[in-house]
Amino acid sequence: LKGGSTRFWSSYRTKFMDVEAKRGRVLIFQQRMLWHSGKPVTEGTKITMKSNLMFEWVPLKPQILTGEKKEGGRVDGRTESVKETTV
């Protein structure tokens, strides 16, 4: 592969940094508020992919319901902390 580097620009596009594309390399970065561009590939093939990572915060000590099951499948609101275990 020749060419195909990813160029990251400063906020006012006065400075930049190029990350060279190489076989087997993966470049992961947050696209929000980050100006970037791709340089032309002059030899070989460059594969690009964009994906969004979605996540949910899980507390260290999750709460579990310990109440009795009520009619309709609901459980009352009593909770207790789960013991931390190492897996």
74 pLDDT more than 60: no
Q: What confidence tier does 72 reach under pLDDT thresholds 50, 70, 90? A: low
Beta strands in 10-86 (DSSP E): 16-19, 36-38, 41-43, 63-65, 79-81
Domain definitions of the chain by residue range: 2-43
- For the stretch 26-60, pLDDT in tens is 998 887 888 999 999 999 999 988 888 777 877 77
pLDDT of residue 71: 62
C-alpha 63/C-alpha 82 separation (Å) is: 6
The pLDDT assigned to 58 comes to: 76
Q: In the chain, what are the helix, strand and coil shares in percent, each to the nearest 5?
A: 0, 30, 70
